[in-house]
Amino acid sequence: MLRAENWPNWRGPNFNGATTDKNLPSTFSRTEGVAWSAPMPGPSGATPVVWGDYVFVSSTDDTAKTCVALAFDRKTGKELWRVKVADGAGRDRMSTFSNSSPVTDGKHVWFFYGNGELVCLDLAGKETWRRNIEKDYGQFAFQWTFSTSPLLHDGRLYIQVLQRNTPVNGRGRSDGPNESYLLALNPATGKELWRVVRPADAREESLESFATPTPYKHAGRDELLIVGGDCISGHDPVTGKEFWRWGTWNPTHIGHWRLVPSPTAGAGIVLACGPKDSPVYAVKLGGKGTLANTDLAWQSFVQSTEDATKAARSLDVRELSSDVPTPLFYEGKFYILNGTKKKLLCVEPSGKVVWSGDLKGKGIFQSTPTAADGKIYMMNFAGEVFVVQAGGSEFKLLHTAEMAEGENTLRAAIPISQGQLFIRTSKTLYCIGKK
């Protein structure tokens, strides 16, 4: 019997973008291979999550200008419930409040929004608890709308808030310090277990991170991997205590390098992607304290003569960079999507680039690739979905499907569960695969 996994958070069951599902479609369209489709009430960058026969979706309601949580029947696409979580849909032209993906354990589902609202619902859509992180810990100090997805791991609900240390555009605390922190909550009640300040030497927008913590176990030690503020750090999931940190990819303290990609770990290393055409850095796991550049396994290239990591082993591969998409780790290899150059690269843990392929298409990529059944799936801004063969000695594009019309800011990843793909555009949720 083939194992069919749930997709409980935006990065999947293993927190790396991959799953063991089989018999997945290679070709499809808006009219072919569709098990069902359901209308979406408004735009959102959030990735749906799947558990059993439930599909949970975070969204805005474009008509009512609200934030909503939705559940669908995975078998039929029937909307099971819709819960209004908060008034207001967004505050800037680049995104909405609904860019954080929900997380579930199959008994409850947690939704978080860029205005600070955090709510726990049961499978019937009944509210268990709620709180507002901004109201409780201070207004978020971000130039754009804040987004991070909650992480459920080992009985704790984590949220990271890595933000500016001073207000920006009228946002941020004026009654106290704007601290960056990692927060652990009791998922059953929402009550604080601990809150640990996570300082950094970055300045201005470079203090802002839109990443999500990544749990990983290496050499018997559980860690939460946190990236932002021009550095990456590993923390004790039980206490939040910092085990180690490495940085920086920003030795000249450029002030506009916000960080988006989350860490991806595998084969004893963790990847941190510097922003805006900066290198990818592979940090050896298992360290303690402040790590040196010799603790890097490799970096994709040396950015400049002022690059503080120039002593590390450089691959001299300029296209090996990711401004927004989080890397994928699948069957022993990393897949790094350079969204601005529309290239996908297959990389060994040693740093060897196996292949690089041009995706082309109508838009850039800000969604994260996912994989199963020997295939990699990713969607660009315009809603074009690309299917690439995983592994092999050369790049092989299997299929391209236009899943949206007239859209240009699609960011949701494509979750994979029980032999089906779930493709979320601003207007429609598609379930692709056998009914």
Domains of the chain: 34-433 (2.130.10.10)
The strand pair at 397-402 and 384-389 is best described as antiparallel
**Nearest CA-CA partner of 98 in 404, 412, 343:** 412
Coil, helix or strand at residue 99:
coil
Range with lowest mean pLDDT among 18-22, 127-131, 304-308, 420-424: 304-308
Range with lowest mean pLDDT among 94-98, 297-301, 380-384: 94-98
**pLDDT value of residue 311:** 62
- pLDDT above 70 covers a percentage of the chain that reads 98
- For residue 191, pLDDT over 90 is answered with yes
**Tokens standing for residue 106:** 């199959």
**pLDDT value of residue 151:** 98
- For residue 4, pLDDT over 80 is answered with no
- pLDDT above 90 covers a percentage of the chain that reads 91
* Per-residue model confidence as pLDDT tens digits over 200-242: 999 999 999 999 999 999 999 999 999 999 999 999 999 999 9
Using alpha carbons, list the distances in angstroms from residue 385 to 27, 376, 388: 10, 10, 10
Residue 57 and residue 48 in contact, taking contact as beta carbons nearer than 8 Å: yes
**Nearest CA-CA partner of 427 in 413, 411, 407:** 407
* Per-residue model confidence as pLDDT tens digits over 66-120: 999 999 999 999 999 999 999 998 888 778 999 999 999 999 999 999 999 999 9
pLDDT tier at 2, thresholds 50, 70, 90: very low
Neighbouring CB atoms inside 10 A of 27's CB total: 12
**pLDDT value of residue 174:** 85
Q: Which residues of 104-143 are buried (b: 16+ CB within 10 A; e: fewer)?
A: beeebbbbbbbbbbbbbbebeeeebbebebbeebbbbbbb
- For residue 365, pLDDT over 90 is answered with yes
Task: Give CA–CA dist 376/371, Å, rounded.
Answer: 4
- For residue 308, pLDDT over 70 is answered with no
> Helix, strand, coil shares of the chain as percentages rounded to 5?
5, 40, 55
Task: Give CA–CA dist 356/145, Å, rounded.
Answer: 33
15, amino acid identity? F
**pLDDT value of residue 378:** 98
Distance from the Cα of residue 111 to its chain's centroid? 15
**Tokens standing for residue 302:** 């040396």
Residue 340 and residue 358 in contact, taking contact as beta carbons nearer than 8 Å: no
* Residue that wins the pLDDT comparison between 116 and 311: 116
**Tokens standing for residue 192:** 């604080």
Task: Give CA–CA dist 260/228, Å, rounded.
Answer: 8
Task: Give CA–CA dist 412/100, Å, rounded.
Answer: 10
**Nearest CA-CA partner of 286 in 300, 261, 272, 265:** 265
Neighbouring CB atoms inside 10 A of 254's CB total: 17
Please report which helix (H) or strand (E) contains residue 280, including its range.
strand 280-284
DSSP 179: -
Neighbouring CB atoms inside 10 A of 276's CB total: 14
**pLDDT value of residue 1:** 32
**Nearest CA-CA partner of 171 in 89, 104, 132, 115:** 115
Across the range 20-43, mean pLDDT stands at 97
Task: Give CA–CA dist 46/328, Å, rounded.
Answer: 17
Beta bridge partners of 376: 371, 388
Task: Give CA–CA dist 266/264, Å, rounded.
Answer: 7
- For residue 310, pLDDT over 70 is answered with no
Residue 196 and residue 159 in contact, taking contact as beta carbons nearer than 8 Å: no
Task: Give CA–CA dist 172/182, Å, rounded.
Answer: 17
Q: How many residues does the chain have?
A: 435
Please report which helix (H) or strand (E) contains residue 272, including its range.
strand 269-273
